[in-house]
């Protein structure tokens, strides 16, 4: 994989450099609530601009259905990028149309433009190879060089990620090279003990990574909604908690395999329960009850790991040398059910281990709960991409950069 440093050594002054970024940030109306992904691409954009390139930044945001949708505009992300760069950033209100061409043609050396949401064009995500290729060719007409730096999208075979790099001289940006280097430390010559913390809603989202990490990890700690399918697989009552009935046998098989391999596979020993899901908009106080994982009432829902589990998990992380964490321990968005996720984050912040927060809700939780990002070894920008890498899958966006 050729890197941006190689490109900079060759010189980019006056060249149009297309940067496929990941500006897929959460927004509340016109307000960006977490700009972590914008800050993550700054080193690449700034290095190119400082070297005199005409920088053309493109990204997706959300899941619009192949047509313009004001709810998913990148206008606010472009404005935030300009604030962080400390320089004006042009914004094109289309992706390959007249506005895009006008914005790019108007760039002086060292200036930056952001194109409108790539997914406003059906060709970006098309299943048909020819349709994707046609859209990639239109994107290629806007640039001389391609730099891939949208790690959160490299597991997608989309036009700007998979097809476009094949049409231009292509290089990996600083974010992608950093992310890949971190993930290699989780898969090759890992320092032990190696602990993995997995949470989130559905166990089905984590099947592949559990399959692979059972062969690599020393300890696997389970929380979040997915824990209740494991508890049910042990024959325990889980009340009205999130349950994937069709995955119970798979979970039971994981527990057996872990025992056979000598991998510690930890499930919650106590949980916070409530008769109803909390209101995440008003965050109105609820009245949760702490119960043993063996005694979840039939009419109650598990929403966070309990205090005994928090202490247990913190102890199991204290002496780890390497930790990968993906997925919150509970409904961290509500203060009544944030303590489990906070306890895991605090354990990693206190630990000397090389700790990787695997993107998605875990990264959002770290920031929402007020932790200093520097307390962790690495906070990934791509939850899905990180998981698929750890599953051992080939990632289309990385493959194209390696061609």
206 annotated to bind ligand: yes
Whether pLDDT at 28 is above 90: no
Q: What is the pLDDT of residues 133-167, one digit of tens each?
A: 999 999 999 999 999 999 999 999 999 999 999 99
**Residue 51 domain flag:** yes
138 annotated to bind ligand: no
Separation in Å, CA 355 to CA 66, 126, 205, 345: 38, 36, 21, 10
Judgement on whether residues 137 and 217 belong to the same structural domain of the protein: no
* Cβ proximity of 319 and 350 under 8 Å: no
Judgement on whether residues 163 and 308 belong to the same structural domain of the protein: no
Catalytic residue among 360, 377, 382, 383: 360
Is there a catalytic annotation at residue 39?
A: no
Judgement on whether residues 237 and 339 belong to the same structural domain of the protein: yes
DSSP string, 362-380: HHHHHHHTT--GGGSSEE-
Q: Which pair of structure tokens corresponds to residue 207? A: 């099947």
98 annotated to bind ligand: no
Catalytic residue among 39, 75, 138, 202: 202
Domain that holds residue 65: 4-174
CATH number assigned to the domain comprising residue 146: 3.40.50.1260
Helix ranges restricted to H, 301-378 = 307-318, 339-350, 360-368
Q: What is the pLDDT of residues 359-388, one digit of tens each?
A: 778 888 898 899 998 999 999 988 889 989
Is there a catalytic annotation at residue 202?
A: yes
Of 174, 201, 216, the residue at which a domain comes to its end is 174
Is there a catalytic annotation at residue 384?
A: yes
**Residue 132 domain flag:** yes
| Residue 254 three-state SS | helix
Predicted pLDDT at 156? 95
Is there a catalytic annotation at residue 360?
A: yes
Q: What is the pLDDT of residues 191-222, one digit of tens each?
A: 999 999 999 999 998 998 999 999 999 999 99
Judgement on whether residues 109 and 206 belong to the same structural domain of the protein: no
22 annotated to bind ligand: yes
316 annotated to bind ligand: no
Give the global pTM: 0.89
150 annotated to bind ligand: no
Of 107, 139, 174, the residue at which a domain comes to its end is 174
Sign of CA dihedral 136, 140, 142, 147: positive
Catalytic residue among 37, 132, 219, 248: 37
200 annotated to bind ligand: no
* Cβ proximity of 197 and 223 under 8 Å: yes
Q: What is the pLDDT of residues 77-110, one digit of tens each?
A: 999 999 999 999 999 999 999 999 999 999 999 9
Q: Which pair of structure tokens corresponds to residue 106? A: 């108007």
Split into its structural domains, the chain has a count of 2
Judgement on whether residues 11 and 42 belong to the same structural domain of the protein: yes
């Amino acid at each position: 994989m050729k890197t941006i440093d190689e490109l900079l050594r060759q010189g980019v002054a006056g060249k149009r450099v297309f940067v496929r970024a990941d500006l897929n940030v959460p927004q509340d109306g016109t307000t960006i609530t977490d700009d972590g992904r914008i800050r993550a691409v700054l080193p690449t954009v700034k290095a190119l601009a400082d070297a005199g390139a005409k920088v053309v930044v493109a990204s997706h945001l959300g899941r619009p259905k192949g047509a313009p949708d004001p709810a998913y505009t990148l206008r606010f992300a472009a404005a935030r990028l300009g604030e962080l760069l400390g320089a004006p950033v042009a914004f094109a209100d289309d992706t390959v149309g007249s506005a895009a061409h006008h914005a790019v043609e108007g760039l002086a050396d060292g200036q930056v433009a952001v194109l409108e949401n790539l997914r406003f064009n059906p060709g970006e995500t098309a299943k048909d190879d020819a349709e994707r290729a046609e859209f990639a060719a239109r994107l290629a007409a806007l640039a001389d060089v391609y730099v891939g730096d949208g790690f959160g999208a490299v597991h997608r075979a989309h036009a700007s990620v998979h097809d476009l790099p094949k049409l231009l001289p292509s290089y990996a940006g600083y974010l992608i090279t950093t992310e890949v280097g971190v993930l290699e430390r989780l898969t090759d010559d890992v320092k032990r003990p190696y602990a993995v913390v997995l949470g989130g809603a559905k166990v089905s989202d984590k099947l592949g990574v559990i399959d692979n990490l059972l062969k690599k990890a020393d300890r696997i700690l389970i929380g979040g909604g997915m824990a209740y399918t494991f508890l049910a697989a042990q024959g325990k009552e889980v009340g009205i908690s999130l349950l994937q009935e069709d995955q119970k046998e798979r979970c039971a098989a994981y527990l057996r395999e872990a025992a056979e391999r000598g991998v510690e596979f930890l499930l919650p020993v106590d949980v916070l329960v409530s008769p109803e899901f909390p209101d995440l908009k008003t965050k109105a106080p609820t009245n949760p009850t702490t119960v043993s994982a063996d005694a979840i009432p039939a009419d109650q829902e598990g929403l966070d790991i309990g205090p005994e589990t928090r202490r247990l998990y913190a102890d199991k992380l204290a002496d780890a040398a390497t930790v990968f964490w993906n997925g919150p321990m509970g409904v961290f968005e509500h203060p009544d059910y944030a303590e489990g996720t906070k306890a895991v984050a605090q354990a990693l912040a206190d630990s000397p281990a090389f700790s990787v927060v695997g993107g998605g809700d875990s990264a959002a939780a770290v920031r929402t709960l007020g932790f200093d990002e520097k307390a962790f070894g690495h906070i990934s920008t791509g939850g899905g991409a990180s998981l698929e890498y750890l599953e051992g899958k080939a990632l289309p966006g990385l493959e194209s950069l390696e061609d």
